[in-house]
Amino acid sequence: MYNIAEGKIILYGAGCCGAVFAELLQKSGFHVECFFDRNPDKTNMQIMGIPIKQPTFLDADSLVVVCILKKAKLYEEIAEDLRQLGYRRICHIYELREERNLFRGQSLILAPDREAVLQNLHRYDNLKNHLADDLSRQVLEKILQFLLEDVDAKIPSLKIEEQYFAYDLYRRIPEEYVVDCGAFKGDVMRIFLEKNQNQFAHYLAIEPDKSYLPYLEHTAGQDADGRIEIKNCAVSDKREQLRMRNYAQEDSIVCADGEIQVQSCPLDELMKGRVCTFLKIDVEGYDKKAITGAAKLIRAQKPVIAVAAYHQESDFYEIFELLYGLYEDYHFYLRSYMNVQETILYAVPPWRLVKEKEDEVYR
């Protein structure tokens, strides 16, 4: 275990994870010397007043914290490069998880609350009992292993390009009405258009951070029929003014002292009189509020739902419980697309199951 209070602190990785951790360290009174990042486009830029540099030797006593959300082979390559430069104190951000006081108030599972996980094992078990296939149960088992004891737990993971589009679980339909909550820069929209060869009825992209709208508009411009609609707002369980902070142009998260102001709106209000057959939700910790604000829509239309289940330890079972309470005939699947941080819970109504899955259910 490394003592973060000894020596200089360098954060490797000037992305969302590094930016979030830098903010947490600053709030705890720690000074971050700099970021290291191999991307030359980031060199000499700053995040929160902290300079970004190419990896170089500064001080052998510095603690270099590698801030990437996946450990495995990439971390080992980075650590070896740092050792070659002369650094002796190198750790992955997950290896600081015992310092839980450093990680409070953010929307990534970096330092799991083991006690809370243990107290709610019965709710994880309830989720497991409602998961529809073996792979889902294996994913949940490995997630629990990660949360309780093992930062190196190997979670069965699929390609990130398949995230939200598990067409082995639910049937694609040409008349799909997509509601994309947390549309970001349009990556999900672009993949959807490619996978469906532009066959869909309507695509509503909802994104609260205005800085991402030009990216969305560029992707939407590929559709000449005007079926893509972009809405600049947040989704929640009620109308309210929220504040957000943009982290390194890789994520925007609701926080009380954020620089960005945005209006939130419940989907039940926003979607009144409109159709939704596929609902994607990834809104950085507001996912449960988004579901609560869409309760009437979900009960009435029962869309396929793909929701991020990884912003808090409790999300895995609490999001399931919310959706199960709205429609008990949903079939639930859990899929990982990197590790814990990119885990999606799918809720599929019976009529959208692929034939093989349907046969399994009614066999």
What pTM was computed for the model?
A: 0.91
Residue 23, CA atoms < 13 Å, CB-side half-sphere: 20
| Average pLDDT value for the chain | 91
For the chain, percent of residues with pLDDT exceeding 70? 96
The yes-or-no verdict on residue 188 having pLDDT over 90 is: yes
* Mean pLDDT in residue range 28-45: 92
Rounded-to-5 percentages of helix, strand, coil across the chain = 35, 25, 40
Residue 72 — φ and ψ, nearest 5°? 45, -145
- In angstroms, rounded to a whole number, what is the distance separating the alpha carbons of residues 176 and 273? 16
- The pLDDT-based confidence of 362 (bands split at 50, 70, 90) is very low
> What's the pLDDT at 236?
96
Please, are residues 306 and 333 in contact by the beta-carbon 8 Å criterion? no
* Mean pLDDT in residue range 115-134: 97
Structure tokens that stand for 159 in this block: 């390609």
Q: Which of 59-68, 112-121, 201-210, 250-259 has the lowest mean pLDDT?
A: 250-259
* Mean pLDDT in residue range 265-284: 96
For the chain, percent of residues with pLDDT exceeding 90? 71
- The pLDDT-based confidence of 107 (bands split at 50, 70, 90) is low
- The pLDDT-based confidence of 361 (bands split at 50, 70, 90) is low
